[in-house]
C-alpha cells in the first residue's frame, strides 16, 4: 500500500465544521496514513490563533502580568472542540499540566507548542488513529538546528510501529533532553516534510485554505490562474520574491527525498491544487511562464568609472564593503565601465549615507547615483529558455503599460527574468506581465 503524509494547517482544525471536512479527506483514501496538525487557527477574521494566545501567555508571565484569562481562552477553545466532536481527551487535566509548568517557569517554546500538542491529541481521538508525540523524535542540536539524519531515523523507527497516526506539528526537543524546541512560525509545514521523508511517502499533501499557488498575487491581479505544477527551483525563485503558501524550510526535506508536495484546499478538496516536484515538462503546449512575483523597496546604487573594465578587483571591493556593512545584495548588473548594486532597503536601514561614503572613498568612482524607490519583479518559468520572443513580449507589455524599466536581469539558467521598476509602477507592471502571459501557450 502506498503512503501519503498530510499536514493540516490551523484553519483546517479550527472548529467542528473544519474538523469534519478534515476527517472526510483523510478517510476517503486509506493510503492517507500519517497526519500532522497545526494548532487551531482563526474561525473568523477577528478570531485569535491559539499559538498567538499561547505566546501572549508567555509575554504576560515574563512581565509579571496575569495570564489566567488568556489560558482560559485556550482551554475554552479546546473544550468546545472536544465537546462537539465527542472526544474522550481530558482537556482540563492537560491544561492543569500546562498551568503547573508555567508556574515553574517553562520556556516560550514549551508554551507555544501546546497548541499543536492538544490539537493532535484531539484529532487522533476523532480519527481513531494513534497519537505519536514528536517530542524525542524530532531533535535539534543545542544551537537549535534540526538534526536531520537523527530525526529521520527516529521518526522512521517509531512510525513503523503505527499504521495510522496523528502527530503534532511545529516542535521537537533538544537532543538527549525533554526540553521542547519549536521551529520558526508556520513550522508545522516542516514537521510534515520530515515525516514524509521518514516514511518515504509517495506524496506530501499540505492542506490549507487556498487551492495552491496562483500565477500572481490576487490582491494585484484579478482572479489569477492557478499553478497546477511547479518545479522546486521555480518555487524557490517565486517565494524569494514574496509569494508564499508554504514554509520555505519545508521544501528541502521533501526535495532531498524526491517526494512531491501537493498544496490542497480543505474547503475545496475537489481542486487538484499545486503539485511541487523536481521538474516539469516545458515544451509546446505548456505554459511559458509559471508565475510572477515581486517586492517593493529596494535601492540601487550605480557607479560609473572611466576604464572600470580594466581595473582588477573592482567588484570584489564592492562585495568586501557590503560585507563590512553586513549587508547582502540582490543583484549586481554590470556594464563596461559601470556597475549597479541592488540592495533591499531593510538590509541597509539608516546606514545608506555611510555606505555611499565607503563606496566613494574606497572605489573612487567618477560618478555615483542612488535611486531609492525600486521594486523588483520576477517572471519565472522553466518554459522560458527554449522559447523565442519571451523577453520581447514582456518588455512590450511593460512599455504599453507606460512602465519605465530601471533594471533588468536574466540569469543564464533562463528560468527567471527580473525587472526593476519604480515602486509606484509595481502593481501596473505585474498586471501588464500577467496580461502578456496568462494565455501563454
Neighbours of 254 (CB within 10 A): 27
Q: Is 10 in the site for ligand ASP (CB under 6 A)?
A: yes
Q: What is the grid cell recorded at 31? A: 493510503
CB of 111 to ligand ASP, least distance (A): 12
State the Cα–Cα distance between residues 206 and 196, nearest whole angstrom. 11
What are the two backbone dihedrals, phi and then psi, of residue 259, each rounded to the nearest 5 degrees? -105, 120
Taking residues 28 to 57 in sequence order and writing x for each that binds ligand ASP by CB under 6 A, - otherwise, the string is: ----------xx---------x-x------
Select the residue interacting with ligand ASP from 168, 186, 291, 365 (CB under 6 A): 186
Q: Which is nearer to ligand ASP, 188 or 239 (CB)?
A: 188
Crossing angle (nearest 10°) for helices 68-84 and 16-27: 50
Report yes or no: 137 and 84 within 8 Å, Cβ to Cβ.
Answer: no
CB of 403 to ligand ASP, least distance (A): 37
State the Cα–Cα distance between residues 316 and 332, nearest whole angstrom. 11
Q: Which is nearer to ligand ASP, 38 or 266 (CB)?
A: 38
Nearest to 193 by CA among 137, 150, 249: 249
Report yes or no: 127 and 91 within 8 Å, Cβ to Cβ.
Answer: no
CB of 331 to ligand ASP, least distance (A): 31
CB of 184 to ligand ASP, least distance (A): 8
Q: Which is nearer to ligand ASP, 115 or 253 (CB)?
A: 115
Binders of ligand ASP among residues 270 to 289 (CB under 6 A) are none
CB of 190 to ligand ASP, least distance (A): 8
Q: How far is CA 180 from CA 9, 94, 99, 139, 144, in A?
A: 21, 16, 16, 9, 11
Report yes or no: 12 and 22 within 8 Å, Cβ to Cβ.
Answer: yes
CB of 303 to ligand ASP, least distance (A): 42
DSSP letter at 276?
Answer: E
Q: Which is nearer to ligand ASP, 38 or 151 (CB)?
A: 38
H-run or E-run covering 367: strand 367-380
Identify the bridge partners of residue 261 per DSSP, sorted by sequence position: 204, 276
Q: Is 188 in the site for ligand ASP (CB under 6 A)?
A: yes
CB of 105 to ligand ASP, least distance (A): 22
Q: Which stretch binds ligand ASP (CB under 6 A): 181-189, 201-209, 271-279, 373-381?
A: 181-189
Q: Is 187 in the site for ligand ASP (CB under 6 A)?
A: yes
Dihedral of alpha carbons 165, 171, 173, 179, sign: negative
Q: Which is nearer to ligand ASP, 186 or 212 (CB)?
A: 186
Select the residue interacting with ligand ASP from 34, 67, 129, 170 (CB under 6 A): 170
3-class SS of residue 187: coil
Binders of ligand ASP among residues 98 to 117 (CB under 6 A) are 115
Say how far residue 295 (Cα) sits from the centre of its chain. 15
State the Cα–Cα distance between residues 259 and 2, nearest whole angstrom. 13
Nearest to 191 by CA among 146, 160, 240: 146
Q: Is 185 in the site for ligand ASP (CB under 6 A)?
A: yes
Taking residues 51 to 90 in sequence order and writing x for each that binds ligand ASP by CB under 6 A, - otherwise, the string is: x---------------------------------------
Q: Which stretch binds ligand ASP (CB under 6 A): 179-187, 354-362, 419-427, 430-438?
A: 179-187
Q: Which stretch binds ligand ASP (CB under 6 A): 180-188, 205-213, 223-231, 335-343?
A: 180-188
CB of 155 to ligand ASP, least distance (A): 17
Q: Which is nearer to ligand ASP, 155 or 190 (CB)?
A: 190
Select the residue interacting with ligand ASP from 169, 212, 294, 381 (CB under 6 A): 169
Say how far residue 148 (Cα) sits from the centre of its chain. 19
Tell me the number of residues near ligand ASP by CB under 6 A.
Answer: 13
State the Cα–Cα distance between residues 13 and 4, nearest whole angstrom. 19
Return residues touching ligand ASP (CB under 6 A). Answer: 10, 38-39, 49, 51, 115, 169-170, 185-189
Amino acid at each position: 500500500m502506498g503512503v501519503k503524509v498530510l499536514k493540516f494547517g490551523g484553519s483546517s482544525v479550527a472548529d467542528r465544521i473544519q474538523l469534519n471536512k478534515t476527517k472526510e479527506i483523510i478517510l476517503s483514501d486509506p493510503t492517507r496514513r500519517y497526519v500532522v496538525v497545526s494548532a487551531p487557527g482563526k474561525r473568523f477574521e477577528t478570531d485569535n490563533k491559539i499559538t498567538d494566545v499561547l505566546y501572549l501567555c508567555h509575554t504576560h508571565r515574563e512581565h509579571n502580568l496575569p495570564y489566567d484569562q488568556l489560558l482560559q481562552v485556550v482551554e475554552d477553545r479546546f473544550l468546545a472542540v472536544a465537546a462537539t466532536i465527542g472526544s474522550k481527551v481530558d482537556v482540563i487535566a492537560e491544561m492543569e499540566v500546562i498551568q503547573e509548568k508555567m508556574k515553574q517557569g517553562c520556556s516560550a517554546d514549551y508554551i507555544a507548542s501546546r497548541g499543536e500538542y492538544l490539537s493532535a491529541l484531539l484529532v487522533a481521538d476523532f480519527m481513531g488513529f494513534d497519537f505519536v508525540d514528536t517530542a524525542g523524535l524530532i531533535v535539534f542540536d543545542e544551537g537549535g538546528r534540526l538534526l536531520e539524519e537523527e530525526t529521520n531515523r527516529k521518526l522512521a523507527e517509531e512510525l513503523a510501529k503505527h499504521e495510522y497516526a496523528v502527530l503534532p506539528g511545529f516542535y521537537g526537543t533538544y537532543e538527549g533532553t525533554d526540553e521542547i524546541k519549536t521551529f520558526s512560525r508556520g513550522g508545522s509545514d516542516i514537521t510534515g516534510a520530515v515525516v514524509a521523508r521518514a516514511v518515504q511517502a509517495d506524496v506530501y499533501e499540505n492542506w490549507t485554505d487556498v487551492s495552491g499557488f496562483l500565477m500572481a498575487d490576487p490582491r494585484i491581479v484579478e482572479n489569477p490562474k492557478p499553478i497546477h505544477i511547479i518545479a522546486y527551483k521555480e518555487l524557490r525563485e517565486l517565494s524569494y520574491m514574496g509569494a508564499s503558501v508554504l514554509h520555505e524550510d519545508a521544501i528541502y526535506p521533501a526535495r532531498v527525498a524526491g517526494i512531491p508536495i501537493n498544496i490542497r484546499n480543505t474547503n475545496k478538496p475537489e481542486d487538484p491544487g499545486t503539485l511541487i516536484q523536481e521538474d516539469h515538462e516545458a515544451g509546446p503546449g505548456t505554459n511559458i511562464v509559471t508565475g510572477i512575483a515581486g517586492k517593493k523597496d529596494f535601492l540601487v546604487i550605480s557607479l560609473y568609472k572611466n576604464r572600470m573594465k580594466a581595473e582588477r578587483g573592482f567588484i570584489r571591493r564592492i562585495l568586501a564593503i557590503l560585507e563590512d556593512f553586513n549587508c547582502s545584495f540582490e543583484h549586481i548588473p554590470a556594464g563596461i565601465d559601470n556597475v549597479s548594486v541592488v540592495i533591499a532597503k531593510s538590509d541597509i536601514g539608516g546606514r545608506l549615507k555611510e555606505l555611499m561614503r565607503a563606496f566613494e572613498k574606497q572605489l573612487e568612482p567618477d560618478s555615483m547615483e542612488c535611486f531609492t524607490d525600486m521594486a523588483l519583479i520576477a517572471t519565472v518559468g522553466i518554459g522560458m529558455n527554449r522559447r523565442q520572443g519571451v523577453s520581447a513580449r514582456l518588455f512590450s507589455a511593460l512599455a504599453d503599460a507606460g512602465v519605465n524599466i530601471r533594471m533588468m536581469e536574466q540569469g543564464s539558467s533562463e528560468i527567471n527574468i527580473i525587472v526593476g521598476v519604480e515602486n509606484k509602477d509595481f502593481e501596473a507592471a505585474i498586471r501588464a506581465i500577467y496580461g502578456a502571459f496568462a494565455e501563454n501557450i
